[in-house]
């Protein structure tokens, strides 16, 4: 969720206003531009698993590799 869902976030009580959502989104944008900003990561409650691109993508790579391995071994066949 993000800027486009600002109304929903306010309705759900996750933000007090659309300005709050915008401020949060600006912090995320800033962290994206400068991932070494530990101050922003801390403020947003994010750790290395999210900030470090290699760590963030490692789980997805492992998942895809596991699916590929299962497919090669024929373990993904649905109609056995």
Q: What is the pTM of this model?
A: 0.65
Identify the pLDDT of residue 2: 62
3-state secondary structure of 5: helix
Q: Which residues of the chain have pLDDT under 70?
A: 1-2, 75-80
How far is C-alpha 10 from the geometric centre of its chain's CA atoms?
Answer: 20
Q: What is the pLDDT of residue 76?
A: 64
**CA distance linking residue 49 with residue 27, whole number of Å:** 18
Handedness of CA 13, 19, 20, 25 (dihedral sign): positive
* Cβ neighbourhood burial of 68 (10 Å; 0-12, 13-18, 19+): exposed
């Amino acid at each position: 969720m993000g800027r486009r869902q600002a109304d929903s976030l306010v309705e759900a009580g996750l933000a007090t206003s659309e300005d709050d959502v915008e401020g949060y989104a600006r912090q995320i944008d800033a962290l994206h531009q400068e991932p070494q900003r530990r101050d922003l990561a801390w403020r947003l409650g994010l750790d290395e698993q999210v900030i470090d691109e290699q760590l963030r993508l490692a789980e997805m790579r492992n998942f895809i590799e596991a699916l590929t391995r299962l497919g090669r071994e024929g373990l993904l066949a649905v109609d056995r």
